[in-house]
Amino acid sequence: MAKYSSILVAILLSFTVVQAELPAAAPGIVVDSSVSHHAAGYRVNGHAQKTKTGLHLPLVLNDGKKDFYGKTISKLSVDVEYETSDRLHVRIADTAGKQYLVPDSPLGLVRPKTKKAASHPNYSFHYTDKPFSFKVTRNSDKEVLFDTTGQPLVFEDQYLELTTKVPDNANLYGFGEVTGAYRRNNHANVTTLWARDVADPFYQNQYGSHPAYTEIRDGKAHGNLLLNAHGMDIFTMTGRITYKVIGGVLDFYFFVPEPATPNAVVSSYTDLVGKSIMPAQWMLGWHQCRYGYHNISEVDGVVEAYRDNKIPLETMWTDIDYMDRTKDFTFDPINFPISKVKALTSKLHSRKQRYVVMIDPAISTNTSYEPYSRGHNLDVFMKLNDYKTELQGQVWPGYTAFPDWWHPNVQKYWDYEVDTFMKSIELDGVWIDMNEPSSFCLGSCGTGKRNESPEFWWNLPADDYVKLHAEWEANLNALGTGVPGDSRNLLYPPYVINNGAGNLSEKTAPTTALHYGKVPHYDVHNLYGHAESHITNNAIQKYRPGERVFLLTRSQFPGTGKNAGHWTGDNYSQWNYLKVSIAAVLQMQQMGIAFSGSDICGFNGDTNMQLCARWQALGSLYPFARNHNGIGQISQEPYRWPEVAEATRLALAARYAMMPYLYTLFEEANTVGTGVWRPLIFEYPKDDRFLAEDVQFLIGDSVLVSPIVVENATSIHAKFPTGVWYDWYNGKPVNGPTSKTIEAPLTHIPLHVRGGAILPLKAPKMTIDATYATPYELLVALDNSGKASGRLYIDDGHSIEQPKTSDIDFKFAKGKLSASGKFHYHEQTKLEKIAVLGSSYKSVKVNGKSYSVRKDSTTGAYVAQGFKIDLTKPFSVEFH
């Protein structure tokens, strides 16, 4: 996280929209001066060639204007692969193969190996030969999904441009990572992808790069991914999407599932990039952190305060405060001596709680620092463009080197450092931050200065900083704007993307720095954090073989979700950031990072009681739920205010009660690919009321959340989808489709259960282990026809490999509840309670024995209990 001083926060705020509502027009508005339609374009050179997997088209340049922002490449190849029935791959690349491709490896994206074309695809590929253009259509309704007809195709060494037509007011979702409304619009109309350490500005580039989207037209959905790691601008203008990319190739994947639902698009997308990690059960509990805990005694005091205030706490975290002079893999001997840190970890473990700390990629270059010496000896750090000198930037510990995640020795290096460190205190998980990578200077400002302690630039007088920055820039330019053997201008590419930091090398590794194989950072910048996630996940598995990995990353790319979760970075303690956190989490769900959340109550700036109460209520339901704020801000642990404590207890009681349902949703994210949180439009794509809805959302398909995100509001005018929806707290039904004002006092967050759902539940306790030790319950919410269904996934809750699992399907119809499926896991806890909403009963029969039914005075549900039903075999329960 960008842990800057209050002076820098003020500077950053001057560039950040801080009004109460999301800006309709923000820094994302850029005049799109697309290249002229007189661009030369290309034509098919000869005949199309059929291949085992599809089609090959050789292209040559037409006569006309060229060299707009680089050197035009005259010979291209178009390879079309009908990979699966719902996935089409279209790659437009230079025939010579000199343009950089996203690596076909876990450090990029492992490509599927297609042996033959799909026999019955849901799509068709069409092309024209002169000039070359192409369309992708859906076979079921002949809808044109992607169409470059009449639009320029520009393919240069440092500039690619391609445009597709879309409806004038297209419903587009994706193109992340962006702080803004969930549905993209024609006002904030440019998405820039260039990983950047910045405190969540609206409609500007930040930590992650996801050049993918889902579009919904008339209730049907399709999707697209441009697999390219270079910097780019994506314009969503009226009637078109235009890609402008500063390198690589045009490597498109199209997702055309049948049925054409948005969730099916997400499933198809994650079939390609990888499914989200399966978290251990404990990871779904409540997490607490802040930057600015002064010593280990203060951290221990927070743990005890949670206990004293009867608020669940699963995992305690420490930011860089624990480090010795902010160096990775060290402990401050005065404030965080390792003996006391280990004592706290042991205490937490004795209570079935956990401990997580941060590790940054930047390694201090101090010559007495052993992690640097070991890395230097293994030659694993990024180099300057002379191929031999280490890049030395500046981060928290001073001058730093940056691991090259593509170096063949780096896994060995990182395994040792991570494993040794985690073993030293029996650590439970790792949080990798600053991995865009972030650097506080421009270029290699630490060359020859390893053992000095530089000032942070934001603490310098303005005039001194201007002079220092000029020196950095001069030093960087003196090394040249490219690399030997590469004619590209890597420092100042001719096309200037809308990078919020300006210079592409500003506050990050210079684009001329080199990775293993002499690959410029220019080509892999957006992959750096993604690659670190893979290497770090491997390292943690070495530390605890067979155990699911807890890993949280800031920077991401398509496929990161299979190695790590993500938090949405350095937000602000403001109402507009509370609101936009919902869109941010929904965006990550769509991109295959189900284990995601935002800093609850805000990271930058001081929160207040009302804001924190509302945020705690919402954040308690984030897929990844953590309160976290910055140094110099007021303390915001939920027990600091009675109202916030109560809002937290109530919301976490709902979360922990739903833990079996939530865990089952994560298993679906890990196998099917669908999100844990879901936009209403993804579940109800034909209901236009939800096209721009990004306040209300669903947990899975069965729990509707209607949070308060407006200051001083005590109610929400909530939209309800079709069907009956039961209030989680009092069981009162709402029949949709309709809209209704729901009262929501300060400590209350409205929740409704979909009629037709069966939710597996537990009795909420103070930890996940204690919660899971309680008997199972079922909440049966009947639809208007008296039916309901649900699912429960059971495994051991922590192992990567699961030889025996249970996958139970529940169905309720005509007064009978039945359970079927796979019952391979030996589950010791029993089903001891069933509550039914939507009908009245007097008794139930279980295994031939009758039990009475009572009406719950609070929820109105008809409740049967007293039995102990074994969840290791099929069963049925009859209601009378």
Residue with tokens 């009963």: 841
What is the tens place of the pLDDT at every residue in 653-680? 999 999 999 999 999 999 999 999 999 9
| Cβ atoms of 808 and 820 closer than 8 Å | yes
Q: Which residues pair with 807 in a beta bridge?
A: 793, 822
b/e per residue, 826-855, with b = 16+ CB within 10 A?
A: ebeeebbbbbbbbeebeebbbeeeeeebee
How far is the C-alpha of 227 from the C-alpha of 623, rounded, in Å?
Answer: 27
0.75 exceeded by pTM: yes
pLDDT category at 21 given cuts 50, 70, 90 is: very low
| Pairing relationship of beta strands 625-627 and 286-288 according to DSSP bridges | parallel
Tell me whether domains 42-273 and 690-880 share a fold. yes
Catalytic hit among 251, 433, 506, 637? 433
Is residue 129 very low, low, confident or very high in pLDDT (cuts 50, 70, 90)? very high
For helices 642-657 and 609-619, what crossing angle results, to 10°? 10
433 is catalytic: yes
Which residue shows structure tokens 């990029």? 108
Q: Evaluate the omega torsion of the peptide bond into residue 259 and state whether it is cis, within 30 degrees of 0.
A: yes
- pLDDT above 80 for 767: yes
So where are the chain's domains?
42-273, 690-880
Q: In the sheet where 596-597 sits, what is the strand order?
A: 596-597, 565-567, 551-553, 429-432, 354-359, 315-318, 286-288, 625-627, 599-600
pLDDT bucket at 371, cuts 50 / 70 / 90: very high
Which residue's structure tokens are 């939800």?
Answer: 690
Strand partners, 318: 357
Residue 254: both structure tokens together = 């199209």
Rounded Cα gap, residues 491 and 803, in angstroms: 52
Band of pLDDT at residue 189, cut at 50, 70 and 90: confident
Evaluated on CA atoms 268, 271, 274, 276, the torsion sign reads positive
398, 378, 382: which is closest to 390 by C-alpha?
A: 382
Confidence of residue 32 (pLDDT cuts 50, 70, 90): low
Q: Residue 302: its pLDDT value, please? A: 98
In 3D space, the residue among 731, 760, 750 whose CA is nearest the CA of residue 657 turns out to be 760
Q: Given this model, what pLDDT does residue 30 score?
A: 52
Task: Indicate the class that CATH gives domain 42-273.
Answer: mainly beta
pLDDT at 8: 38
- The residue-averaged pLDDT of 53-69 equals 96
Which pLDDT score is estimated for 23? 38
Q: How far apart are CA 229 and CA 234, in angstroms?
A: 13
On the question of a cis peptide bond just before residue 152, with omega within 30 degrees of 0, the verdict is no
Residue 156 DSSP symbol: B
Distance from C-alpha of 622 to C-alpha of 611, rounded to nearest angstrom: 16
Return mean pLDDT, the chain. 95
> Which residue out of 83, 177, 321, 570 is catalytically annotated?
570
CA dihedral of residues 531, 533, 536, 537 (deg, nearest 10): -120
Residue 384: closest CA among 486, 480, 504: 480
CA 271 from chain center: how many Å? 16
- Report the DSSP pairing between strands 49-50 and 42-44: unpaired
Strands (E), 557-628: 565-567, 596-597, 599-600, 625-627
In the chain, what percentage of residues exceed pLDDT 70? Answer: 96
The closest alpha carbon to 230, from 212, 214, 244, belongs to 244
Structure tokens at 528: 């750096």
pLDDT per residue over 534-583, tens digit each? Answer: 999 999 999 999 999 999 999 999 999 999 999 999 999 999 999 999 99
818 Ramachandran zone, left/alpha/beta (phi>0; psi -120 to 50): beta
pLDDT for residue 726: 98
Average the pLDDT over 48-75 and give the result: 96
Q: In this structure, how many other beta carbons lie within 10 angstroms of the beta carbon of residue 789?
A: 16
Token digits of residue 709: 């995100």
The pLDDT tens digits of the residues spanning 800-850 come to: 999 999 999 999 999 999 999 999 999 999 999 999 999 999 999 999 999
| Two tokens, residue 207 | 């930590």
**91-116 mean pLDDT:** 97
pLDDT tens for residues 269-311? 999 999 999 999 999 999 999 999 999 999 999 999 999 999 9
pLDDT tens, residue by residue, 389-448: 999 999 999 999 999 999 999 999 999 999 999 999 999 999 999 999 999 999 999 998
Handedness of CA 205, 210, 212, 215 (dihedral sign): negative
Q: In 380-452, where do the E strands start and end? A: 393-395, 398-401, 429-432
Q: Is residue 20 scored above 50 in pLDDT? A: no
Instruction: Please tell me the distance from the alpha carbon of residue 813 to that of residue 228, in angstroms, as a whole number.
Output: 50
Which residue is listed with tokens 């190739």? Answer: 249
Asked if CATH classification 2.60.40.1180 holds for the domain at 690-880, the reply, yes or no, is: yes
Instruction: Give the per-residue pLDDT at 450.
Output: 86
Does residue 91 surpass a pLDDT of 90?
yes
pLDDT exceeds 60 at position 338: yes
Q: pLDDT tens digit string along 242-265?
A: 999 999 999 999 999 999 999 999
Proportion of the chain above pLDDT 90, given as a percent: 94
- Residue pair 837/732 in contact (Cβ under 8 Å)? The answer is no
Please say if 436 is a catalytic residue.
yes
More confident residue, 8 or 481: 481
Q: What is the pLDDT of residue 185?
A: 80
Question: DSSP readout, 822-852?
Answer: EE-S---S-EEEEEEESS--SEEEETTEEEE
Catalytic-labelled residue, pool 428, 436, 523, 668: 436
Residue 7: its pLDDT value, please? 35
Q: Please determine, for residue 28, whether its predicted confidence score (pLDDT) is greater than 70.
A: no
Give the span between the Cα atoms of 190 and 203, in whole angstroms.
8
For 717-755, b/e burial (b = at least 16 CB within 10 A) is: ebbbbebbbbbbeebebbebeeeeebebeebbbbbbbbb
User: Which pLDDT score, from 0 to 100, does residue 16 have?
Assistant: 30
801 assigned to active site: no
* Statement: residue 12 has pLDDT above 80: no
pLDDT of 19: 27
**What are the backbone dihedrals phi and psi of residue 519, each rounded to the nearest 5 degrees, phi first?**
-90, 120
